[in-house]
Structure 1
Amino acid sequence: MASVNMADVKRLRELTAAGMMDCKKALEESEGDFDRAVELLRLKGAKDVGKREARTASNGLVAVKQEGDSAAALLELNCETDFVAKGERFQQLAAEIVEHILTTRPADVPSLLESELAGRSVKEHLDEANAALGEKIEIRRFSVLEGGYIGVYMHKTDPQLPPAVGVLVQLDTANAEVAKDIAQHAAAMAPKYLDPTVVPGEVVEKERSLFEEMTREEGKPEAAIGKIVEGRINGWYKDFTLLEQAFVKDNKKTIKKYAAEAGVKVLAFTRFKVGQA
């Protein structure tokens, strides 16, 4: 059995919220393979492992810029400490970059870094901030939604810090109340995908394989395994796809049903939380 060091155990614990000894045993059994260690913890029923496995320890903020009701950009800008995150210079940099994103619509982060902002590249602005603030400052991700009606919700997890959660919701027709409700729901419930049709096939197959292994570990009859696995896949959709989630304000209906009853369709959403996938 492979030996593991405490730094690896601590990292796995931060990623999964499982117990220290459970993390140590999972790493030993997986011979140091982190992905397999996470799966082993899930197989053993560690609480919330599936929902917490993508967590990281980054600091920073989420910034937004709107253009009327039909376009908005969302940005996650990271730093090393919350001290820098609550500073005026860091927040001003984020505001300038997210406005630039909405104006220029870059294709991806590398394109954004190469683009010109106030006579210099965005990367040069980040380098200057790195030097001035004494920390690594980096753009983790951004999103632009355009068309229909865009609702925005920004949430502070600490009143002394800038927003750490931001959500954009795109509806086919204007409805401020519904957009706000769904955005707040997404902020709280952390869906990863809009609906089951957009979940990547490899993600579904990985979950199906894990659920099959889990079901066999439980000693279920062979003839029932397929049906049980599909039931667990459907349960996974209800946890991780926005439209299949139970609405937090009325758990008797899904978000899809809530939107339909209001006469609107949810076209897309983006949810960023600092330090989470």
Structure 2
Amino acid sequence: MAITAAMVKELREMTGAGMMDCKKALNETNGNMDEAVEFLRKNGQAKAEKKASRIAAEGLCMVVTKDDQTAAVVEVNSETDFVAKNATFQEFVKAVATQAVNSDAADMDAFMAEKWNEDASKTVSEALVEKVAVIGENLKIRRFEKVVAEHGCVVPYVHGGGRIGVIVDADTDVVNDTVKEAMHNIAMQIAALNPKYVSRDEVSADYIAHEKEILLAQIMNDPKESQKPEKVINGMIEGRISKELKEVCLVDQVYVKAEDGKQTVAKYLEEVSKAVGGTVKVKRFVRFETGEGLEKKQEDFAAEVAAQMNA
């Protein structure tokens, strides 16, 4: 299969690996993008599949709460940052979020087919088309998620003027200002450190096995580390897995506002529970980041390469 410059560019943006390394990986895997990512990871040239590391699409994330038990977050994309800052666009995003918090739609197709709350003579999809005509730029309601607390409350947080939207679903015996403030702090933690799970209980055995396979391949590709005894290598893998889980599991993360720089989120929640005389836990969370996994239009790739070669 012929390896194109566009394929190399895509792999670079997915992994952060060098241009020639990406080209080699694609050649070795006959152009299979997923296998090329694995090839780079196993050779230590890509730390992880962080497609969102080059977030580029514009727009806004917005969170609307209906009451202490109900909230919704939406992401609406625009072509330019100029439109994202436009009051007309921002009002439309708020209307979409309000639609979502009152919606019972199970997926995006059903949501787009709903009657528009602000004018029942049209659907959400038709309201979007009209807004595109008014603003003069392509817009997209990309995603939404509604959260309903079963035992406790929901707490919203919006960061960076709409760059990140977070909802925390608190499982708690007590709902008061202290608990809500604690959940707001947790939401800020989620926005800043982007955990993937609440706790290790949510991490699948398949994920752990896959990461161990990657780590073993990295070690075996290192001339020094590969010579170590099997017991030592297994210990290294377990240590690195544990370190990774502390980064991706919310309750294992170091609490960002900890005075000693060591307290975990789990310990912070224990403190809050003791203070309010009940049990306070995070049941789940939702985190949307504007443009996550999307790309802006880029400059000509050949020109980019030429510029790097002439630098």
TM-score, length-normalised on structure 1? 0.86
Deviation at 1:63, TM superposition (A): 0.8
Q: Which has the higher contact order (CA 8 A, sep 6+)?
A: 2
- Listed as ranges, the matches of 1:63-142 within 5 Å are 63-117=62-116, 118-119=119-120, 120-142=122-144
Which letter maps to 2:132? N
Deviation at 1:111, TM superposition (A): 1.7
Match of 1:170 in 2: 169
Contact 2:44 2:218 (C-alpha < 8 Å) held by counterparts: no
Deviation at 1:115, TM superposition (A): 1.4
Give distance in 1, aligned partners of 2:291 and 2:49: 13
Which letter maps to 2:13? E
CA displacement 1:157-186 (0-9 Å, x = unmatched): xxxxx4111111122243132112111111
Give distance in 1, aligned partners of 2:180 and 2:247: 25
Which letter maps to 1:259? L
Deviation at 1:242, TM superposition (A): 1.1
Q: Which runs of no fewer than 5 residues in structure 2 stay unpaired?
A: 274-279, 294-311
Give distance in 1, aligned partners of 2:200 and 2:91: 38
1:193 alignment partner, SS class: coil
CA displacement 1:107-155 (0-9 Å, x = unmatched): 1212211211122221222222334434432222222222212222211
1:192 alignment partner, SS class: coil
Match of 2:245 in 1: 237
- Which protein has the larger Cα radius of gyration, Structure 1 or Structure 2? 2
Q: 1:134 to 1:149 in 2, by over 3 A?
A: same
Match of 1:247 in 2: 255
Instruction: Confirm or deny that 1:272 pairs with 2:272.
Output: no
Contact 1:208 1:229 (C-alpha < 8 Å) held by counterparts: yes
User: Which one of the candidate residues 155, 159, 169 is aligned to 1:151?
Assistant: 155
Deviation at 1:253, TM superposition (A): 2.0
Which letter maps to 2:268? Y
Contact 1:216 1:225 (C-alpha < 8 Å) held by counterparts: no
1:23 alignment partner, SS class: helix
Match of 1:256 in 2: 266
Q: 1:28 to 1:136 in 2, by over 3 A?
A: farther
Which letter maps to 1:186? I
Match of 2:210 in 1: 206
Which letter maps to 1:199? V
Which letter maps to 1:187? A
Deviation at 1:98, TM superposition (A): 0.8
Q: 1:15 to 1:210 in 2, by over 3 A?
A: same
Match of 2:42 in 1: 43
Q: 1:115 to 1:222 in 2, by over 3 A?
A: same
Aligned-pair identity (%)? 37
Give distance in 2, aligned partners of 1:16 and 1:79: 25
Contact 1:215 1:228 (C-alpha < 8 Å) held by counterparts: no
Which letter maps to 1:53? K
Give distance in 1, aligned partners of 2:20 and 2:128: 40
2:102 alignment partner, SS class: helix
Deviation at 1:51, TM superposition (A): 6.3
Give distance in 2, aligned partners of 1:134 and 1:204: 47
- Listed as ranges, the matches of 1:7-46 within 5 Å are 7-46=6-45
CA displacement 1:6-43 (0-9 Å, x = unmatched): 22222222223333333333323332222222223333
Give the stretch that moved more between structures: 215-224 or 33-42. Answer: 215-224
1:265 alignment partner, SS class: strand
TM-score, length-normalised on structure 2? 0.78
Match of 2:277 in 1: none
2:10 alignment partner, SS class: helix
CA RMSD of aligned residues (A): 2.3
Give distance in 1, aligned partners of 2:94 and 2:148: 19
Q: What is the number of residues matched between the two proteins? A: 270
Which letter maps to 2:269? A
Match of 2:298 in 1: none
Match of 1:159 in 2: none
Q: 1:53 to 1:107 in 2, by over 3 A?
A: same
